Amino acid sequence: MSKASKRRRENAPQPERRPKPAGLALGLIVLAIIVIVLGWAIYSNRDSKRGQVVAGTTPAIGMSHAAFEPTVANHAGPPAKAPEGMTWIPGGEFSMGANDPPDMDDVGMKATTDGRPIHRVYVDGFFMDKTDVTNAEFAKFVKATGYVTVAERKPRQEDYPSAPPENLVAGSVVFAPPDHPVPLTDHFQWWSYVRGADWRHPEGPTSSIKGKEAYPVVQVAYEDALAYAKWAGKRLPTEAEWEFAARGGLSGKPFAWGNDFRPNGKWMANTHQGHFPNHDTGEDGFVGLAPVAKYPPNQYGLYDMAGNVWQWTTDWYRPDYYKQLAQNGSVARNPQGPETPFDPAEPREPKKVHRGGSYLCTDQYCSRYIVGTRGKGEVSTGTNHLGFRCVMKS
C-alpha cells in the first residue's frame, strides 16, 4: 500500500459525502489531487521549453500528423477460436502517441503532452476482452475465490499506530458533483473519500449495483484487477497493446473510430456533456456510468475504448517514457513500460498508466478520450470511473 493510501487510512474523513475542512484525510486526498494538477502544469510548462506541445501553443511542424506512419498489421489469423467474450487483435507495427485534438483546443492540447513524441512500436498478436469486465463477471470471481478488494479492507491498527481507531475505516474515492458551477481549480468540489465505497457500493454504502450486472465494475485497485485476470487465466494489457487495439488498424486518427468526434451527429462514446462538473445533460444517452457495449465498436470489435471508464494497464507511468523510446532510434518491440514509475507531481507515489478516459471527460476539463492520450493512477486507489479489461497471449 502506498504512502498516499496510508495517509488516507490514518486520517480517514467522517462519512459526509462532500469535503469538509475538518476532515484531515479528505483534505489530504483533495490536496493530493490539486498537487497533481499543479505539478503537471509546471511539468508541462517545463516541457514547452524543450519543444514539446503544451496548452496554448502551436505545435511544431511534424509533431503530430506528419509523424504518423501507416499501421502494418500482421497478416496471420488467430491461432485458435477466440475465447468467449474476446476478439483477436492481430498485432503489428504502428505509430504510438497522441494526435492533435481536431480543434487544437487548450484542454485537448494539454492532454497530449505526455503522449509525445510519436514513435514506432511493434506488438505481437493477442486476444482481448471485447468489453470492460462487468459487475456480473467480477461477482463470479469473488464468489469463487472469496476475494476482498482493497477498498473493502479495514486498515489494521498496528499498521497505522497514530490513527484513531474510529478513523480506520474502509472506503474509496467517489465523484460527487456539486449542484452549482465551481472553479475547475477547486477539487474539493467534486471528489470525496467516502466510507463504505467499494465495487458493490460504487458511490458509498447506500448505493448498489443491483440491476447493473452489465455495467463495468469500478472501485478496483490495480492488485484487484491483477487478481481477477489471474483467476480468469488472462492478464492485463500493456500500454502499447492497449493503444494498438484501441486504434483498430487506423493510424493518426484522434479517436478510436476516426477523425470526427460525432460522425454524422452520432454519439460514439460515453463522455460528459453540459457544464463540468456540476451538470451532465446526458445527450449521449447516459448521465454518469453506462452499461458496456452501448456504443459502436471499433474496427477490431472492441467496445468502449474511449469514455465510460478508465482502464488499467501494466505499464508504470513516466511522462518521459515515450521520449526514451524515441531516442533509441528503432522500433520498440513489445515494450513493457519503464522499469520504475515517476510522476513529477508525486514522485514517491507508484502509479500505473490508465487509458481510455471516462464519462467525466469533456473538452472543458479532460479530453483524454483522444486515443493516444494517457492517464495515471496510484496503484492502491480505485475510483467510480476506473475499471479494466483483460488480454490473453496467442
User: pLDDT confidence of 149, banded at 50, 70, 90?
Assistant: very high
Cα–Cα distance between 120 and 166 in angstroms, integer?
52
Rounded average pLDDT over 204-219: 98
- Alpha carbon 326 to its chain's center: 23
Q: In what order do the strands lie in the sheet with 310-316?
A: 375-378, 351-355, 310-316, 386-387
**Bridge pairing between strands 279-280 and 86-89:** unpaired
User: 37 is in which domain, residue-wise?
Assistant: 3-393
C-alpha closest to that of 171 among 188, 154, 191, 146:
154
Residue 27 backbone dihedrals phi, psi, to 5 degrees = -60, -40
pLDDT of residue 50: 30
- Take residue 18 and report the three cell numbers written for it: 462532500
Q: Is the pLDDT reported for residue 230 higher than 70?
A: yes
pLDDT of residue 112: 87
Cα–Cα distance between 341 and 321 in angstroms, integer?
10
Total domain count, the chain: 1
pLDDT of residue 189: 85
- Per-residue pLDDT of 281-316, as tens digits, reads 999 999 999 999 999 999 999 999 999 999 999 999
- Per-residue pLDDT of 318-350, as tens digits, reads 999 999 999 998 999 999 999 999 999 999 999
Q: What is the mean pLDDT of the chain?
A: 85
- Alpha carbon 158 to its chain's center: 33
- Per-residue pLDDT of 344-391, as tens digits, reads 999 999 999 999 999 999 999 888 999 999 999 999 999 999 999 999
Q: What is the secondary structure of 36-84 as a DSSP string?
A: HHHHHHHHHHHHHHTT---TTSPPPTTSSGGG----EE-----SSPPPT
Report CA torsion sign: 300, 301, 302, 304.
positive
Name which residue leads in pLDDT, 38 or 184: 184
Which residue(s) pair with 377 in the sheet?
Answer: 352
Rounded average pLDDT over 266-271: 98
pLDDT of residue 159: 67
User: pLDDT confidence of 111, banded at 50, 70, 90?
Assistant: confident
Q: 277 to each of 175, 186, 207, 292, 385, how far by Cα in Å?
A: 9, 11, 20, 23, 14
Q: Is the pLDDT reported for residue 44 higher than 50?
A: no
pLDDT of residue 378: 94
pLDDT of residue 160: 67
For the ranges 50-59, 139-148, 241-250, which has the lowest average pLDDT?
A: 50-59
pLDDT of residue 337: 98
Q: Is the pLDDT reported for residue 11 higher than 80?
A: no
Rounded average pLDDT over 217-233: 98
First to last CA, the chain: 33
pTM of the model: 0.83
DSSP class of residue 216 equals: B
Rounded average pLDDT over 16-25: 36
289 burial type by CB count under 10 A (0-12 exposed, 13-18 middle, 19+ buried): buried
In the chain, the percentage of residues whose pLDDT exceeds 70 is 83
For the ranges 125-139, 184-198, 266-280, 320-334, which has the lowest average pLDDT?
A: 184-198
223: domain CATH number?
3.90.1580.10
Scanning 277-320, the segments in alpha helix (DSSP H) are none
pLDDT of residue 33: 41
